[in-house]
């Protein structure tokens, strides 16, 4: 069962993450506003930003997903990707960090349905999330077996039930 951290106060907020000062060579480091909520294994914000390489290209890791996955930003395109443990490729999560944050906020807003007691509640929450993601970021919604597609099925199966 996946659950929301601190279930009594589930609200959406942003946190400003920075690169660790030891990574800065006299210049200003990168800073990003990312969703602050930890949502069980679905998404956890990192404590700081970390530059990582995926397929020889530099990305900025700002969160994690699952047991070993990373949530990263492509600084060139602005896209948010999910990468596995080996960090050899990424799959589109959202076309921008703003869209990612907006989708996470919508997911948090559905908590009351996700944690419901019936298949009807779970199905309704999954359908609502599906429609919300489609409305916010149609390209991300279209990624079969992607982050949002899998989360939709987790909700429909009752993985967030109390």
Place of tokens 């909700």: 155
Domain regions of the chain by residue span? 7-96, 98-156
Q: Given this model, what pLDDT does residue 80 score?
A: 97
What's residue 111's pLDDT?
A: 75
Q: What's the pLDDT at 146? A: 92
CB 82 within 8 A of CB 64: no
Q: Are 54 and 89 in contact (CB under 8 A)?
A: yes
Question: What integer pLDDT is reported at residue 10 of this predicted model?
Answer: 60
In angstroms, the CA 92 to CA 46 distance is 19
CA distances in angstroms from 79 to 4, 54, 66, 114, listed in the order given? 25, 14, 20, 27
Q: What pLDDT, on the 0 to 100 scale, is given for residue 22?
A: 58
Phi (first) and psi of residue 129, to 5 degrees: -60, -45
The mean pLDDT values, 10 residues at a time, for the chain of 162 residues are 47 79 59 80 89 90 91 95 84 96 88 70 88 96 93 86 68
């Amino acid at each position: 069962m996946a659950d929301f951290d601190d279930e009594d106060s589930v609200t959406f907020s942003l946190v400003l993450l920075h690169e660790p000062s030891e990574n800065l060579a006299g210049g200003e480091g990168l800073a990003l506003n990312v969703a602050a909520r930890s949502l069980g294994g679905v998404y956890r914000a990192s404590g700081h930003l970390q530059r990582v390489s995926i397929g020889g290209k530099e990305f900025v890791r700002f969160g994690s997903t699952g047991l070993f996955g990373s949530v990263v930003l492509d600084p060139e395109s602005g896209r948010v990707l999910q990468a596995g443990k080996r960090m050899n490729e990424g799959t589109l999560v959202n076309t921008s960090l703003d869209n990612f944050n907006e989708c996470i906020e919508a997911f948090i807003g559905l908590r009351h349905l996700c944690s419901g007691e019936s298949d009807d509640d779970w199905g309704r929450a999954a359908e609502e999330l599906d429609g919300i993601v489609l409305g916010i970021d149609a390209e991300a919604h279209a990624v079969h077996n992607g982050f949002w597609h899998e989360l939709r099925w987790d909700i429909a199966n009752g993985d967030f039930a109390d």
